[in-house]
Amino acid sequence: MKFEFLADKFRELEETSSRLQMTDILSDLFSESGEGEISKIIYLIQGQVAPPFKEMDIGLGEKFVQRAIATATGYPLSKIEECFQKEGDLGSVAFDLVSERMQTTLTKKRMDVDEVHGGLLKIAEESGSGSETRKIRVLAKLLNNSSPEEAKYIVRIPLDKLRLGIGDPTIMDSLSVMSAGDKSLRSKLERGYNLCSDLGKVAEVFIKDGIEAVEKIEIELFHPIRPALPERVKSAEEIMDKQSSTAVEAKYDGFRLECHKKGDEVKMFSRRLDDMTRMFPEVVEAFKEIDADELIVDAEALSYDEEIEEFRPFQETMRRRRKYDIEKMSKKYPLTLFVFDLMYLDGEDYTNKKYRERRKKLEELFEDKGTLQRSEMKITSTAEEIDKLFNEYVSRGLEGIIAKDLEAPYEAGSRGFQWIKLKRSYKGELDDTIDLVIIGYYRGRGSRTQFGFGGILGAVYDEDEDKFKSVTRVGSGFTEEQMEKLGKLLKEKLIEKKHARVDSEIEPDHWVEPKHVVTVNADEITRSPKHTCGKDEEGVGYALRFPRMEGWIREDKKPEDATTVKEIIKIYSMQGKDDSSDPSNFKGEPLNQT
């Protein structure tokens, strides 16, 4: 496939906000893709050159991209900088200047997708002395062979600003439509994706051998499995109603890690599927000693003082994500890895086995002390026993409990009642925190003018529409340091108009790309005519009342890992009241900037 065809499809996707139209455009695109090609197309749509766990970062700073444009077009760097100040988008700058390029080359040729992907892959692979110059040279060569439309998208990919509004669910829907004419194959494609976390691979298998081959995709070491997720309830009695037999585990407020081992090779992946191995050297060394040749487990890492049995705050654990002084940080903030589920052992897939079988084998592999420990777990038979355990864990500084159905398999990538979480709450707060995607922000006023930041517009994820729906404005709970940092961070994510994957009738002072997840708490959830989260036929949605920031950016979560619309509606119903018939009950979410 010629890259100009793909660039034309990118333009069509950028010009529509209709998910139905996006599905049709992608379906047409995929039908034109050949074997060995569709995976590269999907990676490029995702703004990458490989699945995220491969750590192939093609990111280039704006200054480097400007130099590549200057090299390819013959214009001075000052001209590029001037155009960028005016346009605000280097993709548009590349389009304009390639259209009027001063230099031409006799070797210019029409590029195919393989060539563009290969060039971007080479940029990602470059490292060491002189690598920046070599990266600029490769990007300039691609631009030198580009049409204006091709140049626009080639520039945006390494800047992580493709802005197509495409999420993984839409890609899977499109693959299904391409083959079956409808979305009927989506669940089978998703099952394969949940086991390998590589949508490019799933598409290649699908194109080559059909949906039957996708159903046979198996777990592969060092290809992370998408994590299982719990449902919420508000009482122990509800847990007993939802599960046939229950085991109660402590819920740790740490950093979720999926740990893979093959011989002496160990890798650890975050919930976002990022390779975190180098961040946790002491955990890696301890994991090598486990008596298993091949192993995959689900676990939570957190700072824990074994002598006084004290769990430290989540923010302290997150400091271990620093890229520098890792050895120093490991001594200052030692971690304990609490292993809570088994997914794979010595060639055998354990995700299809019952929890009681997985737990039994887990207890044979891990002890209840040291750097690696199995999670605390007790089998219960009554709501009273669950409440007793819940109170015990909360009194020790833990978040609450996870109740697991002893007869249920490990549901990779799914949220269901096979796992149920029950978390502590405080007077005047919801029973659980809410993870929001930042979709916009407000300028600072009054005492916040100096920070250029006054609050955020937050959204939750709509799984059915693959969009982010507004649910609240947040203006409380920020420290001055956080306001200063957020002002700078969000300024780098500014976009001229509302993102294609965002559904909001409220207009913030500035729109931003939906990239960052933050955690908030609130007094309650109310019905709202202002927000699009769960909006019904009468135009009434849901909102958070008196929301406030907790902690900092959740670097361990992708935007799609945010709280969902269905969860907001679930939490609302758990409040035990219904004011849905009277939108005037909406009290709004004050944006306190004083």
Domain ranges across the chain: 229-423, 434-585
Q: What is the pLDDT of residues 432-476, one digit of tens each?
A: 889 999 999 999 888 788 888 999 999 999 999 999 999 999 999
CATH superfamily to which 434-585 belongs: Nucleic acid-binding proteins (2.40.50.140)
The percent of residues in the chain predicted with pLDDT above 90, rounded, is 71
What band does 397 get if pLDDT is binned at 50, 70 and 90? Answer: confident
Query: Is the model's pLDDT at 17 over the cut of 90?
Result: no
Q: Are 460 and 541 in contact (CB under 8 A)?
A: no
Active-site position among 188, 234, 251, 558:
251
Sorted by sequence, the CB contacts under 8 Å of residue 356 that are 6+ apart come out as: 247, 406, 407
pLDDT at 458: 97
User: What's the CATH number for 229-423?
Assistant: 3.30.470.30
Q: What is the pLDDT of residues 253-298, one digit of tens each?
A: 888 999 999 999 999 999 999 999 988 888 999 999 999 999 999 9
At residue 510, φ and ψ (nearest 5 deg) are -140, 130
User: Could you give the CA distance from residue 462 to residue 534 in angstroms, rounded to a whole number?
Assistant: 9
| Angle of helix 168-180 versus helix 19-31 axis, rounded to 10 | 60
User: Could you give the CA distance from residue 135 to residue 158 in angstroms, rounded to a whole number?
Assistant: 11
Sorted by sequence, the CB contacts under 8 Å of residue 482 that are 6+ apart come out as: 549, 552
Section 124-134 average pLDDT:
91
pTM attached to this predicted model: 0.86
Q: Which two tokens stand for residue 521?
A: 């708490």
Q: What is the pLDDT of residues 75-115, one digit of tens each?
A: 999 999 999 999 889 999 999 999 987 665 545 678 999 99
- Does 229-423 match 434-585 in CATH topology? no
| Angle of helix 199-209 versus helix 38-45 axis, rounded to 10 | 150
Catalytic, 497? Answer no
Q: What is the pLDDT of residues 310-357, one digit of tens each?
A: 666 566 666 665 555 666 666 666 788 999 999 999 999 999 999 999
Lowest pLDDT segment from 159-163, 224-228, 242-246, 525-529:
159-163
User: Could you give the CA distance from residue 312 to residue 299 in angstroms, rounded to a whole number?
Assistant: 17
Q: What is the pLDDT of residues 453-465, one digit of tens each?
A: 999 999 999 999 9
Query: Is the model's pLDDT at 19 over the cut of 70?
Result: yes
pLDDT at 184: 97
